[in-house]
Amino acid sequence: MKIGELAKKAKCTVETIRYYEKVGLLPASSRDNINNYRLYNKSHLERLTFVRHCRALAMSHEEILVLLQARNQPAQKCDSIDQLIDDHLQHVTVRIKELQKLEAQLLKLRLQCQTPTDSQHCGILQDLEQAIEDNSTDKNFSHVAGSH
Amino acid sequence: MKIGELAKKAKCTVETIRYYEKVGLLPASSRDNINNYRLYNKSHLERLTFVRHCRALAMSHEEILVLLQARNQPAQKCDSIDQLIDDHLQHVTVRIKELQKLEAQLLKLRLQCQTPTDSQHCGILQDLEQAIEDNSTDKNFSHVAGSH
DNA sequence: TAAACACCCTGAAGCGGCTTCAGGGTCAAG
DNA sequence: CTTGACCCTGAAGCCGCTTCAGGGTGTTTA
Ligand SMILES: [Zn+2]
Ligand SMILES: [Zn+2]
Ligand SMILES: [Zn+2]
Ligand SMILES: [Zn+2]
């Protein structure tokens, strides 16, 4: 199968597939001798599906690589896999808590201007000019991305 | 005041300050004629504090620029400010919900391997090889970053 | 007075996880 | 024989910084 078909089956773009090959999440496929098109089979699709599933769960490429390696060593213990999921779950949980803190702060900020006025007297702007409360939030970026 | 002192007072790095100047979040400061060092005053500190406060709330540079402009037009109505905060609050709220979905999916995944075995029989790996359930999550990236 | 050390400067590259762009080649249908 | 769908490569862009390379400045101390 050609790259476009694989992309459709895995619900991603062809560019993403080429990118995954470049960074080593997918092995380089064989090529059509005549036109140099990439050619894939079922096992490529399975691996890509695995990767996309992991990405849908917001795992980092590094985390996914560990899982892929484990997948290739069927006889080994799976402790490390279970641990990786636990750790990643923590990444997500921590990030949720950070964002909930932000949410609360933003709600509080929003209340500073209940009846619209001009910028000069807007409680929101005034609040933003105050010194920063110490949130440990800013530095503790685990690997799960933000809100935008 | 020199850049190091400003950085300390605003609780950020000097590199961040130089970066903000480059991308226009801070205006270019005046310079010491002799050694070309950047020189700052209280109003620079106030503006930087404002920016850092916004960043601590995970606003994007684009959003911050809008607020900075409003701050420079004290006589105008503040509707747009209030609206911007509401919108940004939505960015955060949406991202929290996305991450909570992930959290639930990860918890479910984790339960697939309650008693450690080998990779071949690990329910987690088996689950990850299944087709992807349709989460609308993947594409709806608003501007608030992830969990890592 | 010289060496050590802390601070300042610039410009470029790197991070992650892609997406987009520029500039092509391939191939079936009409 | 042209249109349009698909494929290729390599480089650059996105965001919000951080890090690096390669310097200059300025104070302190041996
Ligand atoms: Zn993780
Ligand atoms: Zn207002
Ligand atoms: Zn926002
Ligand atoms: Zn297991």
Measured distance CA(B129)–CA(B126) in Å, rounded: 5
Going by C-alpha positions, the residue among B50, B77, B79 that lies closest to residue B65 is: B50
Smallest CA–C1' separation from B51, nucleotide: D16
Long-range contacts of the stretch B94-98 (C-beta < 8 A, 24+): B94/A147, B94/B140, B94/B142, B95/A99, B95/A146, B95/A147, B95/A148, B95/B142, B95/B144, B96/A96, B96/A99, B96/A100, B96/A103, B96/A147, B98/B137, B98/B140
Measured distance CA(B7)–CA(A142) in Å, rounded: 24
Q: Is the pLDDT of residue B69 over 50?
A: yes
Measured distance CA(A80)–CA(A82) in Å, rounded: 5
Q: What is the pLDDT of residues A73-124, one digit of tens each?
A: 999 999 999 999 999 999 999 999 999 999 999 999 999 999 999 999 999 9
For residue A147, what pLDDT is reported? 74
pLDDT-derived band at A141 (thresholds 50, 70, 90) equals: low
Question: What residues in A contact B129, CB-CB < 8 Å?
Answer: 46, 49-50, 53
pLDDT-derived band at B141 (thresholds 50, 70, 90) equals: low
pTM: 0.91
pLDDT-derived band at B32 (thresholds 50, 70, 90) equals: very high
Measured distance CA(A79)–CA(B116) in Å, rounded: 6
pLDDT-derived band at A140 (thresholds 50, 70, 90) equals: very low
Share of chain A above pLDDT 70, in %: 92
Specify the fold of B3-56: Multidrug-efflux Transporter Regulator; Chain: A; Domain 2 (1.10.1660)
Tokens of A4: 């476009």
CB B147 within 8 A of CB A144: yes
Candidate from B86, B121, B132 with C-beta closest to A56: B132
Paired residues of B118 in beta bridges: A77
For residue B139, what pLDDT is reported? 47
Measured distance CA(B22)–CA(A117) in Å, rounded: 33
Which sequence spans correspond to the domains of chain B? 3-56
Q: What is the pLDDT of residues A25-57, one digit of tens each?
A: 999 999 999 999 999 999 999 999 999 999 999
Q: Do B99 and A58 touch (CB under 8 A)?
A: yes
Q: Is the pLDDT of residue B102 over 60?
A: yes
Residues 98-137 of A with CB under 8 A from B: 99-100, 102-103, 105-107, 109-110, 113, 116-122, 124-125, 128-132, 135, 137
Q: Using CB atoms within 10 A of its CB, is residue B40 exposed (0-12), middle (13-18) or buried (19+)?
A: buried
Average pLDDT, chain B: 92
**Residue B128 corresponds to which amino acid?**
L
Residue A83, C-beta contacts closer than 8 angstroms, at least 6 positions apart: none
- Give the minimum alpha-carbon distance from B31 to chain A in angstroms, rounded to a whole number: 25
Smallest CA–C1' separation from B15, nucleotide: D18
Q: Is the pLDDT of residue B140 over 60?
A: no
